[in-house]
Chain A
Amino acid sequence: MNYSSEVLQRFGLPQADGAFPDETEGVVRGEAEDRSLGIWIRFDVQLRDGLIRAVRFQLFGCPHAIAAASLICERLEGKPARALAGIDLQAVAGSLDLPVEKYGKLLRIEDALLACRQALGRSQDTSEARKSCDEDETKDS
């Protein structure tokens, strides 16, 4: 297997690997896996004021997947939350010079980001519901 210099560098010294401690404020978590492809990935995304402040990843998989996750974390920081659903996989593949047989793993990485987006949506719904409950309670009293 041949690896581009970018993959070698990011595999040897990945950026943003790890996870935020439990209960860290503003963090949503999403994961995806595919046993047949040999990949499991989890992202922790920390948001503040609608912007992605920091991203961490944990991953079981090949060097290309590790490099891709590391690069995606870097590219997401500072972006609005909607970027979680709009990562440009072609650009990631191009930057890392990924072989075509690894594209399936990129899709699973995308799935984990989408899971973060959904988790964010759920937490916002909960916040809105809590906010409206609080407002109702205030009215009742």
Chain B
Amino acid sequence: MSARPLYLDNAATTAVDPEVIAAMTACLGTDGSFENPSSAHPGGARARQLVEDARERIAALVNAQPGEIVFTSGATESNNLAILGSFDADPRSRKHFVTTRIEHHSVVDTAHALEARGVEVTRLDCDAKGVVTTGQVLDAITDATALVSVMHVNNEIGVIQDIEAIAQACASRDVRLHVDAAQSAGKIPLDLGGWGVDLCSLTAHKAHGPKGIGALYVAGGVTLAPQLHGGEQERGLRAGTLATHQIVGMGKTFELARPERDGPRLAKLRDRLWRGLGEIEGIRLNGCRERCAPHILNVCFAGIEGESLRLALADIAVSAGSACASDDPEPSHVLSSLGLSDALAQSSLRLSVGRFTEPADVDRAVERIGAEVARLRALADGAPAWCST
């Protein structure tokens, strides 16, 4: 009997929890609440109630009001809506956007789109551990700044930014803050209401929910211009028939998530991984041990060629950089921002644990990675110094 596949790519996406599958399945078919939640008939009202129940569950996990949750197709759409929608709705037509160099591509590319529209973009550097400071944010804000966007947990290196402090800084300058929390929801407690965040992107599939559904937290009083037109769903902010089964799935996902319980369990697995891999000579942690999300570990190996390492470990589901960029021969923009050479960035692996990861999976991964690193190092014995730096 073959061992089950090693899946250590939970920061890319996760397996859907069976309870979530059951909740979603119950919405489909003639016996389910398949009706359009916008319909006036009783079936529509039942579907609408399911949507509102899900909205409440999601709001409860992030300390928000249900009316502050807008359903989208995922965090990418949420990021686009938050950023483009803020500039389109800005009453003072301000044209300055502050973000960081280590955001997800859905923010990076949206910033490029803003630049094409004449918006000035300030991209904050991070330090060698991936941290952006409140002082940097404050220094970057000008009278023309309409929005600051900083991700909570970096999707490649797992570094946690101090969103509460950054939110206070933005509030002190009367500038709106958007946070991409795709990686943190469900693993780290989110207190969006308490922190004073204005906009926050959420997704289900990183937390054992379905793909294709996400949400944007829009704090009370924050105005946005819709980016999709064709209906008055979601308070006119996001047109399109509500996908009841997806929304119910996300609601169940957030109901099942318990950051206080899941976070420490994930951190134990991640630490076990690091203890094992730390024995490998020439390994280096990318990011910050003290400020790392519980599920992500990013490491690089001196003297190992990245493409060979990835092929050698093809039987383990891990990512080089982020999953979205794994096929790209260019080094990850996040790892380059940390100051890593191209060679080290290419030899980096992101390993991420999840609800269904077992300690035995971690031990098998450590063994496999150790063996392949040793094999490739032996093959390159005598290589010049540039191969290791």
Chain A residues proximal to chain B, CB less than 8 Å: 1, 3, 8, 11, 14, 17-19, 33, 35, 38, 40, 42, 58-63, 66
Contacts and interface: CB of A to CB of B under 8 A. Distances in A.
Contacts of A18: 378
B308 A33 contact: no
Given A11-B312, A58-B383, A63-B311, 14 more contacts: A1-B327, A11-B308, A14-B379, A17-B378, A33-B384, A40-B387, A58-B379, A58-B380, A58-B381, A59-B379, A59-B380, A60-B305, A60-B380, A61-B305
A62 B382 contact: no
A33 to B, nearest CB: 6
Nearest to A7: B311
A122 to B, nearest CB: 20
Q: Per DSSP, are chain A's interface residues mostly helix, strand or loop, or mixed?
A: mixed
Contact of A17 (B308, B379, B384, B386): B379
8 contacts: A3-B311, A38-B343, A38-B346, A40-B380, A40-B383, A40-B384, A59-B380, A66-B379
Nearest to A69: B379
B307 interface: yes
Classify chain B's interface size.
Answer: 10 to 19
Interface-central residue, A14, A18, A42, A61, by most chain B CB under 10 Å: A61
A38 B382 contact: no
A75 B56 CA distance: 69
A125 B383 CA distance: 28
Interface in B329-386: 343, 346, 378-384, 386
Contacts of A40: 380, 383-384, 387
A42 B312 CA distance: 21
Contacts of A17: 378-379
A76 B312 CA distance: 27
B388 to A, nearest CB: 9
A33 B383 CA distance: 9
A38 B308 CA distance: 11
Contact of A61 (B303, B308, B327, B384): B308
Given A1-B327, A38-B343, A63 B308 contact: yes
Contacts of B305: 38, 60-62
- Among A18, A40, A60, chain B packs the most CB atoms within 10 A around the CB of A60
B386 A58 contact: no
Contacts of A33: 384
Contacts of B311: 1, 3, 8, 11, 63
Contacts of B343: 38
Q: What are the 7 A-B residue pairs with the smallest beta carbon separation, nearest first?
A: A60-B380, A60-B383, A62-B307, A60-B387, A40-B383, A63-B311, A35-B386
Contacts of A59: 379-380
B167 to A, nearest CB: 42
Nearest to B311: A63
B213 to A, nearest CB: 32
Contact of A60 (B303, B312, B327): B303
